[in-house]
Structure 1
Amino acid sequence: MSRLAKKVALLSRSYSAAAAPPPPPRPSSSSGRWLSHHPVVEPARPDAEIGRRRYSSAGYHVSPSSSMKGAVFRDPARPLSLELLQIPRPEPGEVLIRTKACGVCHSDLHVLKGELPFASPCVVGHEITGEVVDHHPLSDPKIVRRFPVGSTVVGAFIMPCGSCFHCSKGHDDLCEDFFAYNRAQGTLYDGKTRLFLHGSGEPVYMYSMGGMAEYCVVPANALAVLPGSLPYSESAILGCAVFTAYGAMTHAAEVRAGDSIAVIGVGGVGSSCLQIAKAFGASDIIAVDVSDEKLEKAKNFGATHTVNAIKEDAIEKIKTITGGVGVDIAVEALGKPQTFLQCVQSVKDGGKAVMIGLAKSGAVGEVDINRLVRRKIKVIGSYGARARQDLPKLVKLAESGIFNLTSAVSRKYTFEEAAKAFQDLDQGKIISRAVVEIV
């Protein structure tokens, strides 16, 4: 095992021992205390100490008429627009965040283009960093102490309820409530959204936390404290791009030192897979894409070989690099039927083909059934990591420098440029990952 891989293993073991936050109580209606754009802290509870900085665990107060801006999607024929919304109110077990930065992801783009059905109007954006602003008065005191007002956090896009069958087994990535409520209805786990238009009160739905807004509500189970040594903007990608890659490499592929790996599609998530594969001690790390610019940058992320799938047969090239046998693990990060097949055909006998790219609704991937059966090919889907156990590890990987956040973010946009950011993503103008700086 390489020295770097040993360091990653030590970090993972140390964070696995950390206690997960308690599951949130089911939401209840309560008037509570809410915030204001010009808040005054009222220390209602003892201060909490984090590092060298002191934070009050008291909440800010907000008038019900206070408003914020959010990037609202209504219809694929209409551009994303900034609209006035009411500042959301957290329920027990949830945290109100003043959003600092939000990543620009293809999953959001699928929603904006109408390729993934989702409730509308909605606020997109699902990987965020920000500052804790308030808690519900009935939230568990342990949550308030862990995330005191004024602390900085990163939020994961899979927001586990903490109490369903899968969450009780530690499989946060399969949370029943997340898929039944948020992905199916655009709400949190009481079946209600936290977002409403300012003035009319029309409900606005949430893609994950609806992070492309000045404030967002996030279940505490999906948060991790962000140390002051990490930058706000770049750290936002920990919540999806890095989170998705880590889940694929750790829980689906189970990468070991010396494994050979091919990553097909090296955008934001794919390039994160390269960095994590390198950290885990993979040997041959093959980046496959159709953009020479992306492939050149992939070398900085750990790729030992690059393949332009337009200029050469990717499967044959992968087999040549691996002595004719194929890779131990291939990862498909695009969500296209042709690259799905490419991924399966790239692995060696007994190898793993891991699918992490979302496709248009109804898309179907092909596989050679006889080879699948005879040669023990494993085809595995992976949506993301496990927030309670993995998100703190990702923060530590970034803090230690094992994962390079700065190089992983290639472009930054202002909040007013949110629509342009997704247009650029759709046109292939973003090399790795982009973030929108909200504040």
Structure 2
Amino acid sequence: MASFSSACRSLVRKLSRAPCSAQVQRSLLSTGISKEAVGYHVGGGPSYMRGTVFWEPGKPITIEEFHMPLPKAGEVLIRTKACGVCHSDLHVIKGELPFASPCVVGHEITGEVVEHGPNTDRGITRRFPIGTRVVGAFIMPCGSCHFCVKGQEDLCADFFAYNRAQGTLYDGKTRLFLRGNGKPVFMYSMGGLAEYCVVPANALAVLPDSLPYTESAILGCAVFTAYGAMRHAAELRAGDAVAVIGIGGVGSSCLQIARAFGASEIIAIDVQDEKLNNAKKLGATHTINAAKEDVIDKIKEITGGMGVDVAVEALGRPATFMQCANSVRDGGKAVMIGLAAAGSMGQVDINRLVRRQIKIIGSYGARARQDLPQVIKLAENGTFDLENAVSRKCTLEEAATAYEDLNRGQIVGRAVVEIM
């Protein structure tokens, strides 16, 4: 027994210094040797990667080394090219949304396919062969739960039960392990702020060669969320009047989607003139500085006293929740897409809600397999302006600073981290 254990340790040491094929690595796993101990190499490349780690609220984000993540059946290993900096990550970093830690945040990515999980369906490997350029959606549908079967992938039961509740993929396990001690690190969506990430194939769509990696990263969350809000929740029609409250990455994307769908008046509301000036480039026909003007009165003035057909709240604050609900016309739709600190409550006038048929609708995202390809087409044909939507590019080493600036309101549109 001692000689067998010694031989195993010797083999592991050799594997950690030399390329190891996925087939050999998997056979070793079957003997009980953990993947943390086996030097899993991708295509003869490195057996480890770098990624950002959020440890706990109030503690700095750091860059750590990880064992190369290993995809399982139906999953794809992506060499990450770019990852957007989103307010949803910031809510986790500030402790406003409960999430497993330590974790790797980052959930809107572009990248290149470098490996398929074992026993992955041939339809997936044909659709995403090695080398394919891809965009990843932050809602990663399992494809087989009650909601996915009904076509409501944005309500995927496994996504919420495993990823959002536990920080894992759908076998209840993370794919991320620290190189130094082998300890697990959890995943916010795919854990995109790392050099490689594992993504369920159902969350991927092909990125055309005509679109850049960096700017296209926002397609998987900021634009994806805006599309879901306008297409499914609001059911926006040509000629509708629209108000968007909060002109950050998602809010500014809502302006562009509203323009693409033929909205007549598009009203941007924020407290920063710089964001409002940028909103005019992205489709806003009117702007309101909420720090200087009464939002509801001004919207009524712009719409001839009626209110808008659709109002979108993209901040996640009780005060703007109420503004959103009160800015729609009779029979209008107030669509809430901004996440708030856990336990936050929004107020609404019950009698007006009932008598005037006000519709208040929550919308978290869109449907990856149906909607992400459509979102990509909007960017490919120039309907969605990616270049003006991204206001800052930074390196992996600068990611922590980008979140600090986002928290201070110093990022006008969307910041994107360029990784490889």
Pair 1:73-2:54 in alignment: yes
CA RMSD of aligned residues (A): 2.0
Q: Which residue of 1 aligns with 2:246?
A: 265
- In the alignment, the residues of structure 1 paired with residue 159 and residue 20 of structure 2 have an alpha-carbon distance, to the nearest angstrom, of 32
Percent of aligned positions that are identical: 72
Which letter maps to 1:416? E
Given candidates 284, 288, 297, the residue that maps to 1:316 is 297
Given candidates 64, 67, 85, the residue that maps to 2:66 is 85
- In the alignment, the residues of structure 2 paired with residue 431 and residue 101 of structure 1 have an alpha-carbon distance, to the nearest angstrom, of 19
Checking the alignment, whether the CA contact within 8 Å between 1:71 and 1:212 is kept in structure 2 is yes
- In the alignment, the residues of structure 2 paired with residue 104 and residue 249 of structure 1 have an alpha-carbon distance, to the nearest angstrom, of 22
Pair 1:103-2:64 in alignment: no
Aligned 1:205-244 pairs, distance under 5 A: 205-244=186-225
Q: Which residue of 1 aligns with 2:164?
A: 183
- In the alignment, the residues of structure 2 paired with residue 114 and residue 62 of structure 1 have an alpha-carbon distance, to the nearest angstrom, of 38
Structure 2 vs 1, CA of residues 285 and 165 (structure 1 numbering), >3 Å: closer, same or farther? same
Given candidates 91, 94, 98, the residue that maps to 1:117 is 98
Aligned 1:36-435 pairs, distance under 5 A: 61=42, 66-435=47-416
Checking the alignment, whether the CA contact within 8 Å between 2:139 and 2:365 is kept in structure 1 is yes
Q: Which residue of 1 aligns with 2:11?
A: none
Structure 2 vs 1, CA of residues 62 and 390 (structure 1 numbering), >3 Å: closer, same or farther? same
Shift of residue 77, structure 1, vs aligned partner: 1.6
- In the alignment, the residues of structure 1 paired with residue 76 and residue 399 of structure 2 have an alpha-carbon distance, to the nearest angstrom, of 24
- In the alignment, the residues of structure 1 paired with residue 260 and residue 108 of structure 2 have an alpha-carbon distance, to the nearest angstrom, of 22
Counterpart of 1:394 in 2: which secondary structure?
Answer: helix
- In the alignment, the residues of structure 2 paired with residue 165 and residue 421 of structure 1 have an alpha-carbon distance, to the nearest angstrom, of 38
Counterpart of 2:335 in 1: which secondary structure?
Answer: strand
Shift of residue 63, structure 1, vs aligned partner: 7.7
Which letter maps to 2:388? S
Query: Normalization by structure 2: what TM-score?
Result: 0.90
Shift of residue 64, structure 1, vs aligned partner: 11
- In the alignment, the residues of structure 2 paired with residue 40 and residue 189 of structure 1 have an alpha-carbon distance, to the nearest angstrom, of 25
Shift of residue 61, structure 1, vs aligned partner: 3.7
- In the alignment, the residues of structure 1 paired with residue 312 and residue 16 of structure 2 have an alpha-carbon distance, to the nearest angstrom, of 44
Structure 2 vs 1, CA of residues 192 and 220 (structure 1 numbering), >3 Å: closer, same or farther? same
Aligned length: 390
Bigger Cα Rg: 2
Checking the alignment, whether the CA contact within 8 Å between 1:412 and 1:434 is kept in structure 2 is yes
Checking the alignment, whether the CA contact within 8 Å between 2:268 and 2:287 is kept in structure 1 is yes
- Give deviations 1:291-322, integer Å, cap 9, x for gaps: 00000110011100000001010000000000
Query: Normalization by structure 1: what TM-score?
Result: 0.86
Counterpart of 1:257 in 2: which secondary structure?
Answer: coil
- In the alignment, the residues of structure 2 paired with residue 175 and residue 434 of structure 1 have an alpha-carbon distance, to the nearest angstrom, of 28
- Give deviations 1:127-183, integer Å, cap 9, x for gaps: 000000000231001100100001110000000000000000111100000000000
Structure 2 vs 1, CA of residues 194 and 372 (structure 1 numbering), >3 Å: closer, same or farther? same
Checking the alignment, whether the CA contact within 8 Å between 2:41 and 2:47 is kept in structure 1 is no
Q: Which residue of 2 aligns with 1:51?
A: none
Q: Which residue of 2 aligns with 1:56?
A: none
Shift of residue 325, structure 1, vs aligned partner: 1.0
- In the alignment, the residues of structure 2 paired with residue 152 and residue 381 of structure 1 have an alpha-carbon distance, to the nearest angstrom, of 32
- In the alignment, the residues of structure 2 paired with residue 35 and residue 160 of structure 1 have an alpha-carbon distance, to the nearest angstrom, of 34
- In the alignment, the residues of structure 2 paired with residue 322 and residue 206 of structure 1 have an alpha-carbon distance, to the nearest angstrom, of 44
Q: Which residue of 2 aligns with 1:22?
A: none
Checking the alignment, whether the CA contact within 8 Å between 1:60 and 1:133 is kept in structure 2 is no
Checking the alignment, whether the CA contact within 8 Å between 1:158 and 1:178 is kept in structure 2 is yes
